[in-house]
């Protein structure tokens, strides 16, 4: 994902903020230079008193305390240098600094409290939005045990361009995983459009390929909404997606539109379900003219595990720029954990991923695990 460039207005605002943060200390140094020069007869008390007030506006609590300490130190040093102790001017300056400092600290604390309350409200809204866009994955659907995990690259983030869903339908268990090639609100809009179409189509479309086609149509309708997408973001905002279906029989059907292929463990063997006829992502259908999407079937017997994921998992890098070896990590985890513990399985993969990247993810990542356990195999 590409980062947005900073507009000119934002750069101007950033420059003014930097000037405002430096101003209290510039004033303090100016007062110090005057007091230790032949111009010390100038009355600099009002200038020095202003430094805590300016710091309270532009700096945090630590910066405000630092400016207060600097102002007091300069007052004491200049009073000593000019042999002014005992005069009314010195004590008046110190009293003024004290009163302005108390007011500054109080206002700074009030602003910080208000910001924390606003941040808490934003987090509650983000959590509610996450539950709408990425609903919790049920622990069990028919004969399957399931679990999902969303890993945000940015600390505090709740939702982004990665998406997944799993549903029980009259055709069996149907699921989707996808990744919007974009960021910000446009990526969330695209993800919500695709998920909404899948949730509806999965219940009524007989053919799994038609479910994918409905997702494509929903994405195209979303891009047609005025103001929803700009043209540059539209070219980058295509969606890789994969839909799968587990009917009553021991098979899994997959339609893959440019998404990383699922991984499946069968005993000690790991299979990569690479599509026989690769297709482009959603919204890039013009590059696949004459190649309609069709479902491909793969064996999915009792005891097998199926992992769907986004490229944020396999493209995660370590400090040496090596990609995360997901197949090896899945094979090792499958050998350690019995079938029937999908949450523990994903948690093991999560720990391996964070260990590989030293705790830093460069991109959002999502994983969806489906297990078909043998009878009596569940713990």
The confidence score (pLDDT) of residue 155 equals 56
Average pLDDT over residues 200-211: 95
The confidence score (pLDDT) of residue 129 equals 61
**CA 187 to the chain's CA centroid:** 12
Q: Is the pLDDT of residue 243 over 60?
A: yes
Q: Which CATH class is domain 137-372?
A: alpha beta
> Rounded to a whole number, what is the distance in angstroms from the first to the last CA of the chain?
41
Tell me the backbone φ, ψ of residue 245, rounded to 5 degrees. -140, 130
Average pLDDT over residues 241-251: 94
Q: Is the pLDDT of residue 230 over 60?
A: no
The C-alpha atoms of residue 323 and residue 332 are separated, in whole angstroms, by 17
Range of weakest confidence among 112-116, 213-217, 261-265: 112-116
Average pLDDT of the residues of the chain:
81
The residues facing 251 across adjacent strands are 299
Residues 6+ apart with CB under 8 A from 308: 164, 175, 177, 242, 244, 262, 367, 368, 369, 370
What are the CA-CA distances from residue 212 to residues 5, 251, 254, 285, 367 (Å)? 34, 19, 10, 12, 19
2 pLDDT tier (thresholds 50, 70, 90): very low
The confidence score (pLDDT) of residue 8 equals 45
More confident residue, 324 or 291: 324
More confident residue, 81 or 208: 208
The C-alpha atoms of residue 181 and residue 193 are separated, in whole angstroms, by 14
> Is 96 within 8 Å of 45 (Cβ atoms)?
yes
> Is 328 within 8 Å of 308 (Cβ atoms)?
no
Average pLDDT over residues 81-88: 72
The confidence score (pLDDT) of residue 41 equals 67
More confident residue, 344 or 35: 344
What are the tens digits of pLDDT across the range 275-312? 988 888 987 876 666 667 789 999 999 999 999 999 99
Average pLDDT over residues 370-377: 77
Q: Is the pLDDT of residue 25 over 80?
A: no
Q: Which residues of 242-273 are buried (b: 16+ CB within 10 A; e: fewer)?
A: bbbbbbeeeebbbbbbbbbbbbbbeeeebbeb
Which H or E run includes 297? strand 296-299
Vertex 86, ends 85 and 91: CA angle to 5°? Answer: 85
| CATH 3.60.40.10 residue window(s) in the chain | 137-372
The confidence score (pLDDT) of residue 40 equals 64
Residues 6+ apart with CB under 8 A from 203: 167, 169, 170
The confidence score (pLDDT) of residue 235 equals 46
Share of the chain above pLDDT 90, in %: 40
């Amino acid at each position: 994902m590409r980062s947005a460039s900073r507009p000119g207005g934002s750069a101007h605002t950033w420059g003014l903020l930097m000037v405002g943060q430096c101003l209290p200390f510039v004033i303090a140094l100016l007062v110090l230079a005057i007091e230790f020069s032949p111009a010390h007869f100038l009355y600099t008390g009002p200038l020095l008193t202003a430094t805590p007030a300016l710091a309270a506006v532009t700096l945090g609590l630590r910066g405000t305390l630092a400016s207060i300490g600097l102002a007091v130190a300069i007052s004491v040093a200049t009073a000593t240098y000019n042999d002014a102790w005992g005069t009314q001017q010195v004590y008046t300056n110190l009293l003024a600094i004290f009163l302005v400092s108390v007011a500054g600290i109080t206002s700074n604390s009030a602003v910080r409290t208000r910001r924390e309350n606003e941040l808490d409200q934003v987090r509650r809204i983000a959590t509610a939005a996450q539950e709408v866009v990425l609903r919790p994955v049920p622990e069990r659907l028919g004969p399957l045990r399931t679990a999902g995990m969303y890993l945000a690259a940015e600390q505090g983030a709740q939702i982004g361009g990665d998406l997944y869903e799993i549903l029980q339908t009259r055709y069996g268990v149907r699921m989707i995983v996808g990744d919007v090639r974009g960021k910000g609100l446009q990526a969330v809009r695209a993800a919500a459009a695709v998920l909404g179409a899948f949730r509806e189509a999965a219940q009524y479309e007989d053919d799994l390929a038609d479910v994918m086609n409905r997702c494509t149509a929903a994405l195209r309708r979303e891009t047609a909404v005025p103001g929803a997408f700009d043209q540059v973001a539209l070219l980058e905002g295509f969606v890789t997606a994969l839909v799968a279906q587990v009917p009553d029989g021991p098979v899994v059907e997959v339609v893959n539109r440019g998404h990383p292929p699922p991984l499946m463990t069968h005993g000690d063997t790991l299979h990569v379900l690479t599509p026989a006829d690769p297709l482009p992502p959603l919204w890039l259908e013009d590059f696949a003219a004459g190649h309609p999407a069709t479902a491909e079937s793969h064996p999915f017997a009792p005891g097998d595990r199926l992992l769907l994921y986004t490229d944020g998992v396999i493209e995660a890098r370590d400090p040496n720029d090596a990609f995360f070896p997901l197949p090896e990590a899945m094979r090792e985890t499958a050998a350690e954990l019995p079938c029937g513990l999908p949450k523990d399985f994903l948690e093991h993969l999560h720990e391996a991923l964070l260990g590989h990247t030293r705790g830093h993810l460069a991109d959002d990542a999502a994983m969806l695990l489906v297990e078909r356990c043998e009878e009596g195999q569940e713990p």
